[in-house]
A and B are shown apart, each in its own frame.
Chain A
């Protein structure tokens, strides 16, 4: 049995600093990419194909060109060439896919709503009206948008070979075993802020863009390459990002289109995607079919796991991710086999979406573990503890830190796990069936390279500069807290500047790496700056320094340092991971199949919590994403047309306030001594990974119905 956990040591959301940009965001002072007003601004609207595969036969733009206010109508026939489009991906290798969709490049249609034209006008409304006048005809070819039902049609991605540890498919020989299939539909990031760009050519070879991106430096690099420009001639601004979840990790065709358009009209062009465009233009979490075979001894020791997965990708570009990763590494299982394939369809290319791959995989693995626990008649938490991995099962390396067992204890206590019935469909509350479920996850704890410039001025204000983006987790807040602690000054004396490509290098905000990466660099920069001040004082000084006074005494306007920082040699010695476990209590109506989430407890083991308030928000947001994944999210294609039929926020459901109960976000909050000086690891992905299984497992506990095809809508429970 588990020992009683002490909860009182966990930081609460009342601790710590509120978002440094909170006031700007709620008052509207924060400017998002589409909100900049430029002199001579023009507005672009895309026209998408109505077929899914084939070629454009003709395209009539005459009426659109004559419409009021129209400045240009761009198609593949008249678009200026984009230098980056002319480079063959792999010359001499015709079997290699053509690569990212080249907008206005030729007459080929690769997916439904493939951009075939762009209208630029002096107002958005006029552009939109003129766009409705563009008439294209097509040579239609047969399309295939049907998602895979097994692994057979797929091919192994270049980075995804089959994996075996121990004996292949050993689960089949275990005394207790099961094999099940799980599917997850296409899911869409759908951040509240639509993808938007304003492009302005300052001269023939100088470009400025205001763009929704998770990485201003990477976007600058990609756009410089595409248009054959010097990197320093491209300025990318992304001061505020209204959510992205992975959809802004790369440059998409609409961004290239806007830049082409700005060149044609030689005025600034603003292009904001419509919500339906968001379903075809900026990636998505791919439909993935999975099969898990899992076997154990009668006392719950895992014998083997075989995890097969097939995800969809586009006909023109491979996308692969790691749904099978969790099965390799989450448990100490001697025999693991994984096979992962991708299937090319006439659809857009998927991309990373929060908890990429791992969230998909964790739904299958953590559901299978739950199914196994009922067969074994072992408590699901106990089953996980029996198979607890103390070292990394893949590399054999020790973990830099792992307190997942403590997370289990804390979560079990807070959700009231003792009230869970061991058999399904045993508990009711006011006529509703009651169930408890749990599911865990892991994700690599990455620390990349980042450079931070720290400037202390005579007014005592510290400015920190680095080219990271903040897509919502509260990066500015966490960085301010790290700097405040290091420098021994109040957070309100600190300015954190980011989201501009001219600032010192920082990686994209993705893969839960920002706090560890940029935080490490902020820590080092502040340390170096402080040492500079201590040197000035001669005697090394005390810990509490009056920076303004020191500058004044030395007649200096400011002192600054620029520091690059990255992971040390510990990265080779240790396996670095973040961990999470989610617990849910659900109510299911026995007749109507309606599921209400009654309570959620999430516990993260991601090292030291730098910023308790924003960390809590991260976990709450991830948990809500997981509820959506479990109960609602599903992009539906009408296979006859290859076209999405629910491409809007009324028909594509994400949770609303009424669906969300109290969510307790708790943290083990023990430092990882190896990743960085704060001991902080990422948590953006683990907030979601495992959550869908926690809901599905609770629904089973409530009803005895195992739903393996997400989402769990009422019709699947009656």
Chain B
């Protein structure tokens, strides 16, 4: 590991000043960043530890549910208000990582975690995300865990988070701050697709930091489900995961929210499938139709073509669970 300096600001103002310098990384739980530093994937000159900032609050405001960037994944997942108002978020968090990691990981850190693409982590391999211009190791390589939506010829990596899939489905907003002030980014626009710049995971500028996420009120609490299909029952990334939230009145879907994990460079919101579900009866047939729509444009690679079949099946199963059919 390369030597680095370490600062721990105690106010938001000093933190914002500290993160602006080149070669700087923010550290919170460190569950991903420390791995990246140990593997030589990233080698910051300076770490800004933001754990002393008062950003752990979970509260309800006029904008809905407010969750501070430093709230721990384990705390959010067990929070009574979260479970009552946004159970989908709690379910997604509990599906992620392991209890030990969730005890360290923060909400902001979860959003900022990097792909687990094996070529990204092995510094002897080509990877456009880690070392732009070196090529994509996964494209013609071992791509079982990789994306089927929104890929580019530069990168087919996926975003590994479960929590973010739920937040994308729930129309959350990310509140960030920097030298130029505070701004709000819709969650579905926070992460980006690889395009020609796969080294950029999201819209956060180098001199900005996340303050909180906000989830607007909704009628989905009764009919929400997070289904994660993986190779083992804990401590494994999703082959495919689905966050499903339905507002059902008298057996008819008023409104639906759907997002997938493990399929794209960002949490993959299924807007068209949601539209197709609105006004339809909450039946398996409706779900199957929506799943078909959701899969339009999907493209498999040598080892992940199974996702083309697994993803729609998982959408249907998640919707069945959310609607109470299972």
Report A's interface with B, CB cutoff 8 A.
50, 125, 128-129, 132, 431, 589, 591-594, 596, 631-632, 636, 638, 640-641, 643, 645-646, 650-651, 653, 655-659, 713-715, 718
Contacts and interface: CB of A to CB of B under 8 A. Distances in A.
24 contacts: A125-B1, A589-B317, A591-B313, A591-B316, A592-B310, A592-B314, A592-B317, A631-B232, A632-B232, A638-B125, A638-B142, A640-B140, A640-B141, A643-B125, A645-B118, A645-B142, A646-B118, A646-B142, A651-B116, A653-B231, A656-B233, A714-B310, A715-B306, A718-B306
Best-surrounded residue of B1, B140, B232, B326 (most CB of chain A within 10 A): B232
A643 B119 CA distance: 11
B272 interface: no
B231 A632 contact: yes
Given A125-B1, A645-B119, A646-B118, A658 B232 contact: yes
Given A592-B317, A714-B310, A656 B141 contact: no
A128 B38 CA distance: 9
Interface string B206-234: 00000000000000000000010101111
Consensus secondary structure, chain A interface: loop
Contacts of A594: 229
A713 B125 CA distance: 26
B233 A659 contact: yes
B41 interface: no
B235 A650 contact: yes
| Residue from B122, B309, B314 with most neighbouring chain A CB atoms (10 Å) | B122
A299 B309 CA distance: 41
B55 interface: no
Interface in B289-304: none
A128 B1 contact: yes
A714 B231 contact: yes
B2 A129 contact: yes
Contact of B142 (A129, A636, A714): A636
A653 B1 contact: no
Contacts of B233: 596, 656, 658-659
Nearest to B141: A638
Contacts of A640: 140-141
Instruction: For the complex of A and B, list the 8 residue pairs with the smallest distance between their C-beta atoms, beginning with the closest.
Output: A658-B233, A715-B306, A658-B234, A591-B313, A645-B118, A50-B124, A592-B229, A656-B234
Contacts of B122: 643, 645
B118 A651 contact: yes
B239 interface: yes
Contacts of A643: 122, 124-125
Nearest to A113: B124
Contacts of B316: 591
Nearest to A50: B124
Contacts of A714: 229, 231, 239, 310
B1 A129 contact: yes
Interface in B143-187: 144
A305 B236 CA distance: 40
Given A643-B124, A645-B119, A431 B141 contact: no
B242 to A, nearest CB: 10
A645 B229 contact: no
Contacts of B309: 718
Contacts of B234: 656-659
B137 interface: yes
A650 B116 contact: yes
B1 A592 contact: no
B40 interface: yes
Contacts of B124: 50, 641, 643
Contacts of B314: 591-592
A591 B40 CA distance: 40
A701 B309 CA distance: 23
Given A631-B231, A640-B140, A640-B141, 8 more contacts: A128-B1, A589-B317, A632-B231, A638-B137, A643-B125, A645-B122, A645-B142, A656-B233
B138 to A, nearest CB: 9
Nearest to B312: A591
Contact of B310 (A593, A636, A646, A655): A593
B152 to A, nearest CB: 21
A79 B151 CA distance: 48
Contact of A641 (B1, B125, B306): B125
Contacts of B98: 656
A129 B231 CA distance: 35
A715 B119 contact: no
Contact of B231 (A645, A658, A713): A713
Contacts of A659: 232-234
Interface in B90-146: 98, 116, 118-119, 122, 124-125, 137, 140-142, 144
A714 B137 CA distance: 24
B141 A645 contact: yes
A715 B239 contact: yes
Contact of B232 (A129, A636, A656): A656
Contacts of B144: 715
Nearest to A628: B232
Given A638-B142, A658-B234, A431 B326 contact: yes
B313 A718 contact: yes
B226 to A, nearest CB: 14
B41 to A, nearest CB: 12
A656 B235 contact: yes
B137 A718 contact: no
A653 B326 contact: no
B313 A592 contact: yes
Contacts of A589: 317
Contacts of B141: 638, 640, 645
A128 B122 CA distance: 16
A132 B123 CA distance: 11
A713 B236 CA distance: 13
Contacts of A645: 118-119, 122, 125, 141-142
Nearest to B234: A658
Nearest to B233: A658
Contacts of B118: 645-646, 651
Interface string B311-326: 0011011000000001
A592 B137 CA distance: 28
A593 B141 CA distance: 24
A657 B3 CA distance: 37
A656 B236 CA distance: 10
B294 to A, nearest CB: 15
B108 to A, nearest CB: 22
Nearest to A715: B306
A567 B211 CA distance: 72
A334 to B, nearest CB: 42
Nearest to B240: A592
A651 B120 CA distance: 13
Contacts of A632: 231-232
**Most chain A CB neighbours (cut-off 10 Å) among B118, B239, B309, B313:** B118
A714 B239 CA distance: 9
Given A129-B2, A718-B310, A653 B142 contact: no
Contacts of A631: 231-232
A634 B25 CA distance: 35
